[in-house]
Amino acid sequence: MSGFSTDWLTLREPYDLRARNAMVLDAVAAHLDPNFSVQVVDLACGTGSTARALGPHLPVRQNWRLIDNDLSLLARARATPAPKDTVTNLIPLDINRDLEAALDGAVDLVATSALLDLVSESWLDRLAVEIVARGVPLYAALSYDGRTKLTPSDPFDAEIAAAVNNHQRTDKGFGPALGPAAAAFAIARFEALGYSVVHGTSDWMMGPDDFEIQTEILAGWASAAHDMGALSQADTTAWLTRRRDCIAAGSFSLSVGHVDFFAMPSATR
């Protein structure tokens, strides 16, 4: 178990799909020859949402290696039928320990979503070096970047957001996480290694109808704030109660900042 439940990944998938940056997806599509089949490695695939979102932008014939260390998420990915002309192989692997093995073999594109904010600077550096050494491109979507907007606002929002961002930097199994700094760090690293990078925002936008995911996110934030000792338990509970009341009244909206990027070998490299 990774701590990411099938229910949570299923709940967020339509918001992720809507948020994915179209310019970045276009850059991926433009980079690959539609007449050839494409071999894709999805790092930390979860239930396979990256393949479902990116597949329609790729050449028709696709071979995906879906990699995750959570067997229950891989089982859900296996249960989802693949489109015609798409072959899917599910690979249980710890990408912290065995990143190089995950990337070995024929690869035209490395993909990942909602992973980079969990990893450490040294792991991300290792990923960049391994990808550049193989001369393959990377599509990395939905890295949380620390921006949040809650409407209407509440006096405790800023403290909660700061606590969430501090919690994002705690160890998620890869060493101290980059959290909100991950995408900017990765983009700078790939550019320093001679890659061209197309990037843009992919923010979650949620309105009054999105009560289920808003409730889930805010409960997670309250829990993170509690773990970080940011506010007293009473203040955190009062904040969450006020926010739930707004959600129940249909008067709440939320945006959560993310970044997508596509890093590709430069023609002049």
Ligand X SMILES: C[S@@+](CC[C@H](N)C(=O)[O-])C[C@H]1O[C@@H](n2cnc3c(N)ncnc32)[C@H](O)[C@@H]1O
Q: Which residue is nearest to ligand X (CB)?
A: 46
**In terms of CB distance, is 173 or 200 closer to ligand X?**
173
Question: Using CA atoms, how far apart are residues 99 and 138, in angstroms rounded to an integer?
Answer: 14
Beta bridge partners of 255: 149, 205
Q: Choose which of 25, 27, 40, 45 interacts with ligand X (CB under 6 A).
A: 45
Question: Considering only 94-102, 187-195, 214-222, 257-265, which stretch makes contact with ligand X by CB under 6 A?
Answer: 94-102
Q: Are 255 and 205 in contact (CB under 8 A)?
A: yes
Q: Which residues, 6+ apart, have CB-to-CB distance to 140 below 8 Å?
A: 111, 112, 113, 115, 116, 183, 186, 260, 261, 262, 263
Per rule CB under 6 A, count of chain residues that contact ligand X: 19
Question: Using CA atoms, how far apart are residues 89 and 14, in angstroms rounded to an integer?
Answer: 23
Question: Considering only 110-118, 195-203, 214-222, 259-267, which stretch makes contact with ligand X by CB under 6 A?
Answer: 110-118
Does residue 260 interact with ligand X by CB under 6 A? no
Question: Considering only 29-37, 67-75, 162-170, 200-208, which stretch makes contact with ligand X by CB under 6 A?
Answer: 67-75
Q: Choose which of 28, 58, 68, 164 interacts with ligand X (CB under 6 A).
A: 68
Range 127-186, binding ligand X (CB under 6 A) = 173
Does residue 114 interact with ligand X by CB under 6 A? yes
Q: Which residues, 6+ apart, have CB-to-CB distance to 137 below 8 Å?
A: 28, 31, 109, 110, 131, 262, 263, 264, 265
Does residue 24 interact with ligand X by CB under 6 A? no
Does residue 197 interact with ligand X by CB under 6 A? no
83 upstream amide cis, omega within 30 of 0: no
| Residues near ligand X, by CB under 6 A | 2, 4, 9, 44-46, 49-50, 68-70, 73, 94-96, 113-115, 173
